Every structure is written in structure tokens, then in C-alpha cells.
Amino acid sequence: MPSAPAPRRFILTLSCEDRVGIVAAVSALLARHGALILESSHFADMQARRFFMRQEILADSLPFDAASFREAFRSIASEFGMDWRIRDQAERRRMVVLVSRQGHCLYDLLGRWKSGEWNVDIPCVISNHESFRGLVEWHGIAFHHVPVDPARKDVAYDEIARLYEAAGGEVMVLARYMQILSPAMCARFRGQIINIHHSFLPSFIGARPYHQAHERGVKLIGATCHYVTTDLDEGPIIEQDVTRISHADHPEDLVTYGRDIEKVVLARGLRFHLEDRVFLHGNRTVILR
């Protein structure tokens, strides 16, 4: 028998200056309206004096919809100066994927989307090459070829931004998109662009990093998933992982292991983002699980 659908949830996320009474005020509001809390987590950064909270609330336990919940919460948010959001988990997020010629992350994302692992729509895939048009269109997804002329990169990035906004994009995933986005684009979509790369930086820069690592005799290889900022590959880290290798592994083995771990780390980091578990905190992240 098919499993019963998960109960619909409202996700409340907030951050503010840390002070006494935040948890009490939020809890009192939820209790007053009969809210059933399914998941709750919070964290206080003692050095920065910043407080973070995430609550999952059973939607059917409240006497109103998400819009009315926001109105009810507004006075508390104002009192504590909160950065906050209430999202209906049933609403499907819109994810736009950018890719170049390496397809391992794209294949993995499409598989997870097709299997219903994430509550997302992929309105389009954008690439600076035609390599994956057939694969993407076979999945019923629009494919946009946007070549990047090194002398006129801003033209390509303006077109990517236009396509992203026209698609109603909420998160842009760089699935091994081998281009450096412009500072203007990074700033425009701050907190929305997620990238994946090998974790050899800054030790092995440039072409053939796995071959460089093999020559150096590294024992661990890994991947990093992070938000894209104007500082190349230095944005707030969402997720990382490593796998052990040995002297018996060839450079081609390292490439295979690296692609596997890139897929897993990107998927994990993306899931944290889609589930509203990630808070930007300067050049770091707070992830409430």
C-alpha cells in the first residue's frame, strides 16, 4: 500500500538580536492558537549576540491559513526586530539549473526531481553548451542555450537573469556550471545561488585538480556546497564531505570518487536550503536540523 502523505506544515524561521523572552513570546502565540509543533530548533551565537529559530507547525492545527498566520506573527516580529518568514511547505519551490559540459550533478538532480524526493519544479535548465538539450527536453523541461562570449559576458548574464526571473526562479543551482558569474548577478540574487565544487581549493587551482592532488599524494578528497558571492568560491558554506583514498587509486579513480561526492554534497546542501534550514550569518551559515 502507498504510504500516507506527510502532514502539511508551516515553517517559521527567524533571526534577531539575542535577548530574553524570544522563545516565550513565540511559544505563547503558538499555544494561544492551538498550534502543534512538529519540529523545533534554535541556536544563539553568544559572540555575535544573534538568535536563530526554526519551527515546523502542523498546518491543520491552526485556525487560519499561512497569510493570516503571518499577520498574527507580525507584532512579535516587530517587537524583537526579527528577520523572519513563514512558508507553507506544500508550496512547490521553483529551481533553475545551470550546467556546462559535466553532467553528473545534472543527472542526479533530475533523478531526485523525477522521483519526487523534493517538492520542487524545474521550469528550465540553462547552459552555455548544447550538450544536454536532449536529456533535459526528454524530461519535459525547457532548455535554454546561452553562449558566453568572453568579451561580452554581461550580455549572457543579463539573459540568464531574465530567464531566471521569467521562470519565477527561487533558487539557482550551478550544477558544475563552469563560468564565473558577475558581481552584479551575485549581489542581485544573494542567498539564492548555490554552487558545488571540489574541496581542493585553494591548494590545487586551475585545470586537472584531481591529477594535481594525485601527484601530491592526498589521502582525502571532498566537495563543498556553498552560496555564491562576489568572492569566488568563498561564499557561505552549506555542506561539505570527504572520502578517503589510497596510494593505489589512479587519477581517474579520484575523478570518479570526486563526482560521486559532489552529487551527494550538492543534494544534501540543496535539501537544507529547500527545507528552510539554512540561515545566512555573515560569511557563515547556521543550519538548524
How many alpha carbons fall within 13 Å on the CB side of residue 115? 7
> In order of start, what are the domains of the chain with their CATH numbers?
9-88 (3.30.70.260), 93-287 (3.40.50.170)
Residues with catalytic function: 233
pLDDT, residue 214, reads 82
pLDDT, residue 219, reads 87
Q: CB neighbours (10 Å) of residue 108? A: 18
Low-confidence residues in the chain, pLDDT < 70 = 1-4, 200-207
pLDDT, residue 251, reads 86
For 6-64, the pLDDT digits (tens) are 889 999 999 999 999 999 999 999 999 999 999 999 999 999 999 999 999 999 999 99
Proportion of the chain above pLDDT 90, given as a percent: 82
pLDDT, residue 198, reads 83
pLDDT, residue 163, reads 98
pLDDT, residue 197, reads 87
Mutual angle of helices 209-216 and 251-274, in 10-degree steps = 120
Pairing of strands 237-244, 142-145: unpaired
pLDDT, residue 4, reads 66
